[in-house]
Amino acid sequence: MITVRRGSLAESTAEAILRPVRSDLSAVTHGGRELELAAGPLLVQRLSSLGTVPLGGAVITPSEEHPSDFLIHVVVEAPDEPCDLAALERGLTNGLRRVEELGIESLALPPVGSGVGGVALDRVANLTMRMLEDALARSASLAAVEIVVSSEAEESAFKPVK
């Protein structure tokens, strides 16, 4: 089941949270930064020790001080590569692969890639919803996905089609 909620990603209690990041694994959004702060300084140290990750890559870490078990960091910005819909699809594919590998049952994520590289919100929403629906249909474990949005426009774009 996919739900859409307006609020803060840092407030989510899903088993895993997927968070968009730069290639140096730093937050690209205010919500991602809030999540980073909620997870505590050990997360920032862990991420800085990993170096850089290519556009579309995904890294999983413990969530440290945050109540979720895992954080999945999906690279949507890199200094030398433009971010487009194909790069976002690679990132979501890799992030959802980590979800399946760990047998995660619940996942929260923001609108991954909206506002990055000029990718339109409706295109991001269509891609994300299609990929999440496919992941839920194929997964032996994933049962619940929460998309955490910050505006009425995002909420409207990500409402599941009945």
2-158: CATH topology is: Leucine Aminopeptidase, subunit E; domain 1 (3.40.220)
Count of positions (residues) in the chain: 162
Distance CA 82, CA 77 (A): 8
* Burial tier of 124 (Cβ tally within 10 Å: 0-12, 13-18, 19+): buried
State the alpha helices, DSSP H only, in the chain. Answer: 30-39, 41-49, 85-102, 121-138, 152-158
List the domain boundaries for the chain: 2-158
SS3 content of the chain, % helix, strand, coil (to 5): 40, 25, 35
- Tens-digit pLDDT profile for the chain (162 aa)? 999 999 999 999 999 999 999 999 998 888 889 999 999 999 989 998 999 999 999 999 999 999 999 999 999 988 888 778 888 999 999 999 999 999 999 999 999 877 655 678 888 999 999 999 999 999 999 999 999 998 999 999 988 654
pTM: 0.91
